Structure 1
Amino acid sequence: MSGLDPFDTAALRAAVLSAWTASPTRFREDANAEEDLYLGGYRDRLLVELAQNAADAAEGSGVLRVSLVDNELRAANTGRPLDAAGVAALASLRASAKAGGVGQFGVGFAAVLAVTDAPRVVSVGGGVAFSADDTRGAVAEIPALAARVAERAGRVPVLRLVWAVDETPPSGFATEVRLPLRADVDGAALLAGFAEQAVDLLLALPGLHRIEIDDAVWERAEEPIQPAATAEQSTPAPALDEFGSAAQRLPAPTTDGIRQPGEGARVEIRGPEGVSAWLVYRVEGTLGQDIADTLGVEARPHWTACWAVPVDSDGIPRPQAADVLHAPTPTDDRLSLPARLVATLPIEPTRRRVRPGPAADAVLAEAAKAYPDLVRLVDDEWRTTLVPQAGFPLSEVDDRLRELLLAELRQAEWLPAKGKYRAPARSNVLDVEAEGLAELLSDVLPDLLDGALSAQKHAASLAALDVPRIRLAELVELITGITRPPTWWRDLYTALAPIVDTDPGARAELGGLPVPLADGRTLPGPRGTVLLDGAADLLDLLAHTEVGALRVVHADAAHPVLEKLGAHVGVPIDVLDGLQETVESSLDDAESGVDTSGLVSVVLRLVRDSGVRAGDKPWLGALALPDSVGDWRRADELALPGSPLLDVLDEDSPVGVLSADLAAQWPESVLIALGVLDAFALVVDENPTGPDHDLADEADWWDASPDPPSRVIAVRDLDLVTEDAWPRALALLASEPDTWRALHEAGGYTGWWISRHAVIGGASPGEWRMPEARELAGLYDEVPDIGVDPRVLAAIGVRTELTIDSPEDAEELLGRLGDLDRAVNPGTVLRAHAALAEAVVDEVLEPADVRPPAGVRTLAGTVKDECSVLDAPWLLAVVGEDSVISAGPDFALAEALADLLDLPLASEEVGGEPAPAGEFVPWADLGAVAAACDLLGVDVPEGGAMVHDKLVIQCADGDHPAPWWVHDGIAHCEDTPQALARALAWTTDRWLDRHTLAELIEDPANHLI
């Protein structure tokens, strides 16, 4: 070693050796303590401690350069050179040159022992060296200590005995630490590890602005981002070191505990891998005297705290997922905070963990108070990313800091709320994100945060701060009852529209959303309201008219989102439907003195605009309207002035005349759509349940049908027509398409009623026949010409054909047949009797329901009260035509006709038998018969006939000649073409072909002509 000794290292060695000699146990304690430090607390902290020492020495912006020279690690720094106090501290495991601080264990230099046994510190004022070999040599001369060294296998404390060296630092640097590396240390790997720590060290130690490791360089640049400090605060901030002398440089405190104004900055660290940027906020102060007393120091301890969060090139923070507490260099206390904390906290001798106690609590509390200021440096959009999230704490310090930060953040004003900032503890946020919604509601809900904070990315942070979230259902409750102009509500609906479009659940929660109406009311919920996109004058009319239950949304509030929430599409007819109850009670209201003129105007306007036609909405007929004498009457009880309907109604009819003034104000089509009469009115019911439509004789019509009608389309007020006006009434009915259809409705009420009650030429319609119904000639007279469409006459019951639909029809027909004053053709008589019989067969008639006539018309055209019904054609040979009636050639109808008229069958009255003078001849043997069958295309029947030269029927009243007869199933006939043909036709069941057969039998050649 050199003979120069500017720091009096000889005295320091002598003191240590004396202490060891006096107490060998002290030697062992020092050795153990040193070993604990570099093997435990300072393991892997070499660069950290070298950088910390460089930062402590820095004056302004310090520089640290680390290099490897001939397997010797060298760390040079600028700033204050080594002094005597520093040397004394280096040679003491329990002392520090930083007097008066909580972190009084100035033992960080022990970290060098992890790589070397002979560290040196050279400075511009002199240098010192430590050496394990030199220490062993020094203690070898003291037997007691030599024994201790032997016990420890030659291991000795390295940093207790110090020697002077005559070396100087490199140019431009004040001090350099030189560490010859042990053989087991990889110098290149050591430098690579240092390079990984450079950025963190420059951030943690603002006393350094540059670190050089081998050929790599990292530099720190800083830009303030808050106003310059006041004069009182202009003292330069001390380095972030352990509590100590820095406190002496602060203004003298006037009260216990001083906190200086903080500073914000953007810090950029440029290195080989690029630039890393951070937002930082620093604050410093002194603790109170009570803390100094606890620590056993005279000066109030100085503290500093710095919060730092990495940001990208746009200044957007990139919160950390995990980190460690820096005090100010890294500890082993793990943190889960979004930002890094660098604070001058008291630490344990191992420099691994914070030393618990009031000083640590005080500094952590002060750091927490500064955290909202860091948050305020961030743009509003990203501030919540700096809120500690819920989760298991990574350490006791982490748990404590999270509690403190959340408490401070809850009370600080930093969350944006309509151009200002609010504290979370006095705020709430919407549970849905919708552009403009929160801003619109901020006047109503003053504690509401900006809408951007409703986004899901902010949810966890706001939940950690206990900020209540206002769900849509709760929002509806909060705004129910408030008074706002309709345009405000429309803006609200606009803001809510995207939510309603995409979230079905939102529609249920918004079911009670207030809706302002045109009449000034506000309803709780859109359901049942009507959105009317009508003319301005209509909306104004609605706004100034009391119309009961009408729920038209105010024009300035109307919005499509209301339709999705239950409002009806805004067309006039929907509004009109909303007035049904009010219209139906309008007459009672008018008669009670209520002014219903506004309602009349609204309804008429809506009817006009909606295009409603007469009969579309029958309930409109209940609207109270003024009549010609100033009374109020239902619209459907009034006729238009000058209406042709008035000419056909009875003078005493209940139909009044509409006020001429009102009639002049509105088109006839609008008034008619209300139900005001200009022609006959209709009753329409597509789903009738009974005869309850207030139509004359409706129950009788209902009962007359075998099945209940499936719908009712009927002309009303037919019973009010005067008897002599029916031709005009029918013309009026035929002139309107709707009443025309009602007249022609199959089985409908209108035709049914008119056919029974109308008067044409002094008789009912059913007593006349149409001119073209010639088959009814004689039975019914031709209808007189009354100037009415024949189709109308047919529809109201003027007969077009012979039909029997009821017992009344049958009785009338029989009466006409029995009227000798009527000249009825024989064919008509046969057809009439056949129709009567068919009605019985088809069960249209029950014989018991028809009263037998006084007389019936016979085949001779006479009328008799006693006769029989011809049920077989051969019987005419023995009975007279004036004693039988017939249903025509279909003799199967005879029995039904007999039952209807309560007459015997002719076969029951005649008991004759053929005289036994005939000869049985097979049909096939009758050549003419066989030829006729062949020509007609029928098979020759089996069996044969009894052929007589002259056939005689022996009856009770004597013998009667007959051309043919059937007895016991055997045909008897004379040998004539006519007789043979009739017997053959009856046998082959081709009675209607009898005349053809007769011609073919008589002359087969007839079939060729």
Structure 2
Amino acid sequence: MTDFGIAELRTSVLEAWRGSPTRFREDANAEEDLRLGGYRDRLLVELAQNAADAAGTGGTLRLSVVDGELRAANTGAPLTAEGVAALASLRASAKRGARTVGQFGVGFAAVLAVTEAPRVVSTSGGVAFSAERTRQAAADLPGVAERGGAVPVLRLAWDLPEDEPAPPQGFDTEVRLPLRAEVSVEDLLAGFAVEAPDLLLALPGLSRIEVGEQAWWREDGADGVVLVHGPTGQARWLLCRASGELDADAVEGLGIEARERPEWTICWAVPVDEHGVPQPLGEDVLHAPTPTDERLSLPARLLGSVPVESSRRRLLPGPATDAVLANAARTFVQLVLALAPEHRIALVPVPDFPKSEVDGTLRALVTAELRAASWLPAQEDGVLLVPARARVLDVLAPELAELLAEVVDGLAAAELSNQTCARQLAALEVPRIRLAEVVALVSGQDREPAWWAGFYAALAPVAEQDATAREELGGLPVPLVDGRTVTGPRDVLLPDFDQETIGALSTMDVMGLRVAHPEAVHPLLARLGARDAGPADLLDAMRTAVERSMEDAESGFDTTALVDTVLWLTESTGSRRGERPWLASLALPDTEGEFRHADELILPASPLREVFDAEVIGKDAPVGVLAEELAGRWPAEVLAAVGVIDSFVVVYEESPGGPDHELADEELWWQAVDGDLNPPAELLGVRDLDLVDDQRWPQALRLLAEQPETWQAVTRAGGYTGWWLARNARLAGAAPREWRLPAAEALTGLYDPIPDVGVRADLLAAIGVRAELTATGPADTADVLRRLADPDRAVPPGVAMRAHHVIAEAVRGGLVEPSEVDLPEEVRVLTGRVVSGEGAVVLDSPWLLAAFAPEQVVAADPDDAEALAELLDLPLAADEVDADALIGNGLPVAWADLGAVVAASELLDRPVPEGLVVVHDELSVRRGGAEHRVTWWVTEDGVVHAEDSPAGLSRALAWAVDRWGDRHLLAALLDDPTAATYLA
């Protein structure tokens, strides 16, 4: 074996110590600093480094405890003289070149943590160190005593004992460390077992580490994945390596050894599972290449030849370190690219507080490199994005991302929209595309309707769960059936009708009509405000366009499509006139080429053209004639449904609010029915009656009777139509209410029978031709009074009396307010003559008649007298007779004492009245200074007086028994109280 010049090395050291006590203290302090400082707790690290340097590649390190010694056997290059010199120098390594980390350099001082007598045995020889032997050799030095016997163990090398065993079979070198008594073998080996897997990553020269009975070994895969096997299984690491050479400026400030070895190496390692999915690290330390105290928070482990301080625990600041870290950041991108695209985002450092100054620097460098490199998976297959120019959807919607990939440049893969990636993307400053921006991006896109349906389907899950998302989608483009695209689903109609309808709509361009293309329809549209629509809904949706059609037509817009669409939908829905009153606003052409609202036009073949006044139809007239071309293409009922006049039009409103229906004289009717105080429950009126020619009313009336709607309006009690016709229609030159039916003889003299005008009686009665005497209001009452006061009218007395009764009853019933009636100056009296109202009275009691001339008395039933007098502004007859008017001396007699009265009562089967009657031989009353002979009288106190004659007693008796209508029968019976008289 080689002795490596140990004796010479030892002699030179001792001479140096003896020549300079200061040198001894320097060596002792240096070794102590290494043992207690930078190399504490690094025993296995340093042993493994030496083994890796010796092996170069594929080395094995075996750690075991034999006879109280820790033994570290390794394969590879055996010990050399340079190695021995390095072990004994404390300040220099024997290794040069980029391949090694520093075999047998100052790091060997780490063994002093467990021993005072380390030995190195190799196939080429060996060397021993001993604290005890060093103390003996340096016993005469003053510094030894000063330090209490503590000496530098590794400065004096000794030969191995003659019986020192060779290294174990298969190994080239073994370090043997007799353990101090206080060292726990179990704890020592347990600690080695923890460090072993990491060292296999850090030291490429090692491929196997054995600790006692346990073993760890490494397998390098072609895909960069390293498998570290151990007692409990295996660990997978994805590795990415890079190397290069620092320039001269970068290494200028380093030691000579570093300047001689300017090469740098970098290795990034991240755990992966069996499927290659990364398992990012949380907190780690920088490895240079073995662990330092520089804490890191990166997702992967950094192992590199970063310049470190002599303790190997901290980085050495300077240009060289900066250059290596910059290269490490660039290499990190390659590690990311080595992963499957869907897993790369996991290696982006998320924003956090740096664990150290180095951590902050490295995180910033890595993030900057990742932002500028092409590695981020795009939604488009096989494309990699630069994060600085990429965008990501704000919602996780793969189908949506697939569709947007062809619309949005730089769209990142859909899976990156997951919130678990949000922090990483935020660190890369990748902007998120919110739904509102998605809407803006797709607006203006020329796509097939089916594409839009797929787009809505992709958005639906997001909109269903998020109300805010629904608001952002309010401006979604929607393709319409006519080829247009509108902004926003609100008020868009979702077609629910047949293909024929859809086909017709596709050829129509109607402003305001928004019908979605059937191939684009999706439930999302309804969720965002669109609504299902059949033909009726479609027609209703055109209301705005219809109401502005006249303005558009007069402005020169072509409204042909609108007209055809409205008429076609009207026909499709079976709409009838009045169902949609707004259809009457539709602008249609007339025969003059001008546009009018539909309800201002009449069909060319309408029968109303034969009854309307010629001046109301035509150019500049209220009514125009619909263009022949349009009338020929559409059925009359369809045109009528939009308001074109084909027959009389009925206007209906339930609970009308006022006279605002454009009916002739509607305000007068409203006042007549007291509409302001008591509005009618409904309005049912026929329009355009004022356009009828006065000479053609019979034909017009027959037309009204032919249609159920108009007939109902005519016959509605109290309705507008009957009211207007009664006053304004003309039959034989007069209004209907000026005539009576020929059969209405009770009106003889008051009204003339209507001539034969070719109109049936029930229709005549319905329009106001009188069938009976009525007074339903002030106007009717004034008309009856005027006719009664007309001297040229031969009014039979009975008719006059019944007329007075009817109008008095109207006053009593509240139908007529006397102050509202225009009175004639004359009245018709009992004789049938018409006389001045001055001096006339209203008869209020039958006995008063004898006190007045017949030419003075207006006949009335006693019950009607007061109301009639108030209406006619005449006095009652009783008010014109003196209170003490009665003249004569009579004898009070009981009715039962009058034989003729008893006999008459028996014949009539009536009881004889109780009480008295005052019987006079002759009876008179005084009025106005004159006496008037009377046959009976009733005083104000109710006492009945009668002349002793059948005429007087019969009237008094009829009054007393309330049988006034039997007075003439009683007169005959009192004169001859026999059965023959009664029967006659």
Aligned-residue offset at 1:395: 0.5
The one of 640, 652, 665 equivalent to 2:633 is 665
Matched AA of 2:817: L
Aligned-residue offset at 1:402: 0.8
Deviates more, 1:738-747 or 1:288-297: 738-747
Q: Which whole-Å CA distance do the structure 2 matches of 1:593 and 1:46 have between them?
A: 98
SS at match of 1:855: strand
Aligned-residue offset at 1:367: 1.0
Matched AA of 2:229: R
Count of paired positions:
919
With over 3 angstroms needed to count, the CA separation of the structure-2 counterparts of 1:472 and 1:10, relative to structure 1, is: same
With over 3 angstroms needed to count, the CA separation of the structure-2 counterparts of 1:668 and 1:67, relative to structure 1, is: farther
* 8 Å Cα contact 1:834-1:888 kept in structure 2: no
User: Structure 1 stretches of 5 or more lacking a match?
Assistant: 226-264, 922-943, 986-990, 999-1009
* 8 Å Cα contact 2:208-2:218 kept in structure 1: yes
Deviates more, 1:71-80 or 1:451-460: 71-80
Q: Which whole-Å CA distance do the structure 2 matches of 1:330 and 1:875 have between them?
A: 143
The one of 234, 238, 243 equivalent to 1:275 is 234
Q: Which whole-Å CA distance do the structure 1 matches of 2:126 and 2:850 have between them?
A: 170
Aligned twin of 2:220: 222
The one of 455, 463, 466 equivalent to 2:429 is 466
Q: Which whole-Å CA distance do the structure 1 matches of 2:853 and 2:234 have between them?
A: 137
Aligned twin of 1:845: 817
Deviates more, 1:167-176 or 1:574-583: 574-583
Question: TM-score normalised to the size of structure 2?
Answer: 0.82
With over 3 angstroms needed to count, the CA separation of the structure-2 counterparts of 1:837 and 1:162, relative to structure 1, is: same
User: Structure 2 stretches of 5 or more lacking a match?
Assistant: 618-622, 895-913, 971-984
* 8 Å Cα contact 1:550-1:579 kept in structure 2: yes
With over 3 angstroms needed to count, the CA separation of the structure-2 counterparts of 1:595 and 1:848, relative to structure 1, is: closer
Q: Which whole-Å CA distance do the structure 2 matches of 1:155 and 1:788 have between them?
A: 148
With over 3 angstroms needed to count, the CA separation of the structure-2 counterparts of 1:313 and 1:818, relative to structure 1, is: farther
* 8 Å Cα contact 1:639-1:677 kept in structure 2: yes
* 8 Å Cα contact 1:517-1:523 kept in structure 2: yes
Aligned-residue offset at 1:637: 3.9
Question: TM-score normalised to the size of structure 1?
Answer: 0.80
Aligned twin of 2:778: 807
With over 3 angstroms needed to count, the CA separation of the structure-2 counterparts of 1:746 and 1:567, relative to structure 1, is: farther
Q: Which whole-Å CA distance do the structure 2 matches of 1:784 and 1:186 have between them?
A: 142
* 8 Å Cα contact 1:210-1:220 kept in structure 2: yes
Deviates more, 1:585-594 or 1:825-834: 585-594
Aligned twin of 1:389: 350
1:269-303 residue CA offsets vs partner (Å, 9 max, x unmatched): 33333333232222222222333444345545222
Aligned twin of 2:151: 156
With over 3 angstroms needed to count, the CA separation of the structure-2 counterparts of 1:350 and 1:657, relative to structure 1, is: same
- Superposed, 1:295-334 pairs within 5 Å as 295=254, 296-297=256-257, 299-334=260-295
The one of 965, 968, 989 equivalent to 2:938 is 965
* 8 Å Cα contact 1:837-1:887 kept in structure 2: no
Aligned twin of 1:836: 810
Aligned-residue offset at 1:901: 0.7
Deviates more, 1:87-96 or 1:624-633: 624-633
Q: Which whole-Å CA distance do the structure 1 matches of 2:171 and 2:559 have between them?
A: 103
SS at match of 1:224: coil
Are residue 680 (structure 1) and residue 648 (structure 2) matched? yes
Q: Which whole-Å CA distance do the structure 2 matches of 1:333 and 1:30 have between them?
A: 28
With over 3 angstroms needed to count, the CA separation of the structure-2 counterparts of 1:148 and 1:719, relative to structure 1, is: same
Aligned-residue offset at 1:333: 1.0
Aligned-residue offset at 1:384: 1.7
- Superposed, 1:585-984 pairs within 5 Å as 595-625=558-588, 634-640=597-603, 642-654=605-617, 655=623, 658-659=626-627, 661-683=629-651, 693-708=661-676, 713-723=684-694, 725-740=696-711, 742-743=713-714, 748-759=719-730, 763-767=734-738, 796-797=767-768, 803-818=774-789, 821-823=794-796, 824=798, 828-829=802-803, 831-838=805-812, 841=814, 844-852=816-824, 854-856=826-828, 858=830, 865-866=836-837, 867-871=840-844, 875=848, 883-885=856-858, 888=861, 890=863, 894-913=865-884, 948=918, 954-956=925-927, 957-958=930-931, 965=938, 967=940
Matched AA of 1:329: T
SS at match of 2:8: helix
Aligned twin of 1:136: 135
The one of 65, 79, 84 equivalent to 2:81 is 84
* 8 Å Cα contact 2:267-2:304 kept in structure 1: yes
With over 3 angstroms needed to count, the CA separation of the structure-2 counterparts of 1:453 and 1:964, relative to structure 1, is: farther
* 8 Å Cα contact 2:603-2:645 kept in structure 1: yes
Are residue 404 (structure 1) and residue 365 (structure 2) matched? yes
With over 3 angstroms needed to count, the CA separation of the structure-2 counterparts of 1:211 and 1:584, relative to structure 1, is: same
* 8 Å Cα contact 2:925-2:932 kept in structure 1: yes
SS at match of 2:878: helix
Aligned twin of 2:32: 35
1:805-836 residue CA offsets vs partner (Å, 9 max, x unmatched): 43211112223455663444587346413323
Aligned-residue offset at 1:405: 0.5
SS at match of 1:436: helix
Q: Which whole-Å CA distance do the structure 2 matches of 1:815 and 1:320 have between them?
A: 115
Deviates more, 1:553-562 or 1:11-20: 553-562
With over 3 angstroms needed to count, the CA separation of the structure-2 counterparts of 1:343 and 1:808, relative to structure 1, is: same
Aligned-residue offset at 1:713: 4.8
Aligned twin of 1:15: 12
Aligned-residue offset at 1:424: 0.8
Aligned twin of 1:378: 339
Matched AA of 1:427: A
SS at match of 1:406: helix
Matched AA of 1:807: P
SS at match of 2:235: strand
Aligned twin of 2:123: 124
Q: Which whole-Å CA distance do the structure 2 matches of 1:220 and 1:785 have between them?
A: 127
Aligned twin of 2:409: 446
1:739-775 residue CA offsets vs partner (Å, 9 max, x unmatched): 4554466754333322322245765343467899998
Matched AA of 1:718: L
1:571-601 residue CA offsets vs partner (Å, 9 max, x unmatched): 4455545655654565676678765444432
1:2-55 residue CA offsets vs partner (Å, 9 max, x unmatched): xx7633333332233233222322322333333333323233333333333333
SS at match of 1:159: helix
Aligned-residue offset at 1:511: 3.7
Aligned-residue offset at 1:722: 3.6
Aligned twin of 2:460: 497
* 8 Å Cα contact 1:515-1:526 kept in structure 2: yes
Aligned-residue offset at 1:346: 1.5
Aligned-residue offset at 1:734: 4.5
Aligned-residue offset at 1:348: 1.6
With over 3 angstroms needed to count, the CA separation of the structure-2 counterparts of 1:352 and 1:836, relative to structure 1, is: same
Q: Which whole-Å CA distance do the structure 2 matches of 1:559 and 1:667 have between them?
A: 37
Aligned-residue offset at 1:219: 3.3
Aligned twin of 2:182: 184
With over 3 angstroms needed to count, the CA separation of the structure-2 counterparts of 1:704 and 1:143, relative to structure 1, is: same
* 8 Å Cα contact 2:391-2:431 kept in structure 1: yes
Matched AA of 2:689: L
Aligned-residue offset at 1:632: 5.8
SS at match of 2:462: helix
Q: Which whole-Å CA distance do the structure 2 matches of 1:699 and 1:440 have between them?
A: 65
* 8 Å Cα contact 1:817-1:857 kept in structure 2: no
Deviates more, 1:391-400 or 1:642-651: 642-651
Matched AA of 1:285: G
With over 3 angstroms needed to count, the CA separation of the structure-2 counterparts of 1:591 and 1:460, relative to structure 1, is: closer
Identity of aligned residues (%): 52
Q: Which whole-Å CA distance do the structure 1 matches of 2:266 and 2:213 have between them?
A: 32
Q: Which whole-Å CA distance do the structure 1 matches of 2:69 and 2:842 have between them?
A: 150
Deviates more, 1:124-133 or 1:590-599: 590-599
The one of 93, 98, 113 equivalent to 1:96 is 93
Q: Which whole-Å CA distance do the structure 1 matches of 2:228 and 2:936 have between them?
A: 141
Aligned twin of 2:166: 168
1:952-973 residue CA offsets vs partner (Å, 9 max, x unmatched): 6854444766767353x66667
